[in-house]
Amino acid sequence: MTPAASALAGILALASSGQQIPPGAAPAAGIGAPKGPQLSGPELDKRTDDIGALLRCPVCQGLSVADSPATMARNMKAEVREKLAKGYDQEQILAYFERSYGEFVRLEPPMRGVNWLVWFGPVAGLLAGGAVIAWAMKRSRGGPAAAGGRDVAFAAPAASELPSRDTVPADPKLAAAVRRVRMLAYGWPQGFSPKAGS
Amino acid sequence: MIRPEPARRSRVNPKVLVVGLVVALPLLAVLVANLGRDPHSVRSPLVGRPAPAFSLVPVGGGAPVALEKVKGKPVVINFWATWCVPCFEEHAALTAAARGLPDVQFLGIVYEDEETRTQEFLRQRPSAYPSLFDPEGKAAIAYGVFGVPETFFIDGSGRIVDKYVGPMTRSTIAALVARAKEGAR
């Protein structure tokens, strides 16, 4: 007798005193007695697809049980079908899968606790973003005065305030520097070309 | 006259700072909270709850084995498949652990595999514990299995103490079995 067979014999000896449970007939733990009607025919097919669309296939990337061709998804769909035929309702069936896989298995998270953020967070974010854009647009339309005078220092000076081309700063060092730059850039230190100055 | 350059002030806009902190701090908190987490230790909603019941036929046939019938001593349930390389790697460790821990019931549950291939695998690599066939995947669904290998450690009262994802070594098995034994006290 192999070790595995011996271990199996041990389990079966232990089990021989009790009632035999048919294969795969474990009760649906934790979801209570069926609350809905026992479905069959086209209604059973439709409801199986409907509930399959609400369940995430655990071995796929973002696919529902109804859409996935994976064996696991097929098995889960068969489980949904079997439970609908026994009279379990949608919420009981979703709760059954949630007990083993967690809330992750629901493609539509139930509206409770932190899930409110998932449902209404994007809308709230959109509204907040719109409000910020509206505020910024209103602020820019009002001009520098509306901005609290913060940009006044950087506003373009009036034409009368601009120095003419041939002026130099009062500071002798700065004036010498301006002349040197003019010499390097244009070839003459004054503001105008000597040829044009007639 | 050249106007003097206005003095540059480097100051932080408090509104921008607050908004930035509100966005960045929760993300940072999530990152820090998960830094030390073992990726193999997947929190299952079943941990701490009674192990889902099953009754499955052993590979090769015979009377069905029900979890209920092995209640009273720690149970290790290993979901595996012949096409899974990590399952092949941990097979020897599980077999050795099952031989060395006669007070613990080891059970294999075959996940999405063919019975003939499984029989051939076990013929070439004898196991010290029974492997059960789960043709419709009901046990895998009830245990919330995502893939293989996944191993559940159940205490003597039938409560799931741990779930381990990935190939196990003898030391990992020993440590988790010890916790299952503690849970039984």
Is the distance from CB of B67 to CB of B155 less than 8 angstroms?
A: no
Q: Which CATH class is domain A30-105?
A: mainly alpha
Q: Which fold has domain B55-184?
A: Glutaredoxin (3.40.30)
Spell out the domain ranges in chain A.
30-105, 165-189
Identify the three-state secondary structure at position B162: strand
**H helix runs in B13-84, sequence order:** 14-35
Give B136-185 pLDDT, tens digit per residue. Answer: 999 999 999 999 999 999 999 999 999 999 999 999 999 999 999 987 55
Do the Cβ atoms of B181 and B155 come closer than 8 Å? yes
- Residue B5 pLDDT level (bands cut at 50, 70, 90): low
**ipTM of this complex prediction, to 2 decimal places:** 0.81
Mean pLDDT value of segment A94-109: 92
> Which candidate from A24, A58, A154 shows the least CB-CB separation from B136?
A24
Q: Is B183 helix (H, G, I), strand (E, B) or coil?
A: helix
Res A18 pLDDT > 60: no
Those of residues 101-130 in B touching chain A at CB distance below 8 A are: 105-106, 112, 122, 126-130
pLDDT digits (tens, 9 = 90+) for A54-92: 999 999 988 999 999 999 999 999 999 999 999 999 999
Instruction: Select from B49, B138, B145, B160 the residue whose CB has the most chain A CBs within 10 Å, as the one to mutate to test that interface.
Output: B138
Confidence at residue B178, expressed as pLDDT on a 0 to 100 scale: 95
What pLDDT was estimated at residue B22? Answer: 92
pLDDT in tens, B98-147: 999 999 999 999 999 999 999 999 999 999 999 999 989 999 999 999 99
The domain spans of chain B are 55-184
